[in-house]
Amino acid sequence: MCENNGLCKENGLKGLCCPNPAGQNLGCCDSEVEKQDMLGAGPAPELLPPATTPGKLMTFYLYRVDNDQRYKLNGVNMANLLGDIWYLHNEVVFNCPRKFNISRLTRFKVTYRATKELWGQNKNFDNFVAFDKAKCTVPGCSMLHWLPLGYVIGCTKNDVGRVALPGEAAWFSLPGTCPSKFYFQKSDECVKREPGGQCKGGQVTGERDCTYQIEEAGEIPLDELSGIKNYNDVCESTGVREYDETTDKGTGTSFWNGKADPKKGAERVKFISDLFAKRFPQFPAHLDDPPCDA
């Protein structure tokens, strides 16, 4: 049982011990379902000692592509602008209607500071983890990430070879409250036990439960990029297409033409950046992307 596991005892965790395939007890689970989730997680990381201070304060923009549904973000994956352009070109704009009925590109101003534990590894970011319906769905989220490092942001670089982009495309993972559960399963007890990394107010301190704040910083309709109004509704009846993979261009629009053309890729990034700056002048026109050092 977990009472015999020092790390679990220290963090007040009770339940079943969770072995990895090598038979090592990594931590505790509340149920057999979570025990199975630990299988395949691999050994706990060997870490350097924590730093004497949290990491440096960073402010940058992250983006999400969404449909028209609106909900509070609490445990999500985001991307830098290049990452979402990469995703749109590879997964979305060649579909009619667009995949998941995606209709908008939303920007967030993120303020972030790594914990002492993560900064002690000479890193600002942990490895990326996938969130589905606000739950961390990779094996060993708690034992491999939250317990040793705190609720820090993770990142991963994308394969930019498939889309010509002027820089590094990256995805980011932002742990919310009770990340071990789907949004419809989160209880008050779980939220208290697993507070997540979003600060409740005030300064971002870099404490284990206060690593980031996010602020909505505007959105751009995808229809505005292609110039096709109500694309998801009219593409089938009119024959217009934002992008066709076989011809490498759109029908009735040219915004997404030239997927592998570096010049056109740079023009797309500049157009979207300039549009956000013009539409939302209350926010900085430009913030540097943070390097993904995971």
Mean pLDDT of residues grouped by 10 in the chain (294 residues)? 52 51 46 48 79 98 95 94 96 96 97 98 97 92 93 91 89 96 92 94 94 98 96 93 96 96 97 98 97 94
Q: Which residues contact 111 (CB under 8 A, 6 or more apart)?
A: 57, 58, 59, 204, 212, 213, 214, 215
Three-state DSSP class for 78? Answer: strand
Instruction: Evaluate whether residue 187 is within a structural domain.
Output: yes
Q: How many domains does the chain have?
A: 2
CA 127 – CA 130 distance, rounded (Å): 10
- Whether residues 60 and 127 share a domain: the answer is yes
- Whether residues 171 and 287 share a domain: the answer is yes
Per-residue pLDDT at 202 = 84
- Whether residues 184 and 262 share a domain: the answer is yes
Judge contact between 69 and 103, C-beta under 8 A. no
Question: Which residue is listed with tokens 């939220």?
Answer: 191
Distances (CA, A) of 140 to 14, 53, 66: 16, 27, 28
Residue 174 bridge partners (DSSP): 76
CA 153 – CA 124 distance, rounded (Å): 8
CA 138 – CA 18 distance, rounded (Å): 15
Structure tokens given for 41:
């997680």
Per-residue pLDDT at 38 = 55
Instruction: Evaluate whether residue 44 is within a structural domain.
Output: no
Judge contact between 172 and 112, C-beta under 8 A. no
- Whether residues 244 and 153 share a domain: the answer is yes
Per the structure, the complete domain to which residue 219 belongs is given by 53-294
Per-residue pLDDT at 23 = 41
- Whether residues 9 and 151 share a domain: the answer is no
Distances (CA, A) of 220 to 109, 258, 273: 15, 21, 10
Number of alpha carbons in the 13 Å side-chain half-sphere of residue 239: 0
Instruction: Evaluate whether residue 9 is within a structural domain.
Output: yes
Per-residue pLDDT at 233 = 92
Per-residue pLDDT at 201 = 83
Instruction: Evaluate whether residue 214 is within a structural domain.
Output: yes
Per-residue pLDDT at 19 = 46
Three-state DSSP class for 286? Answer: coil
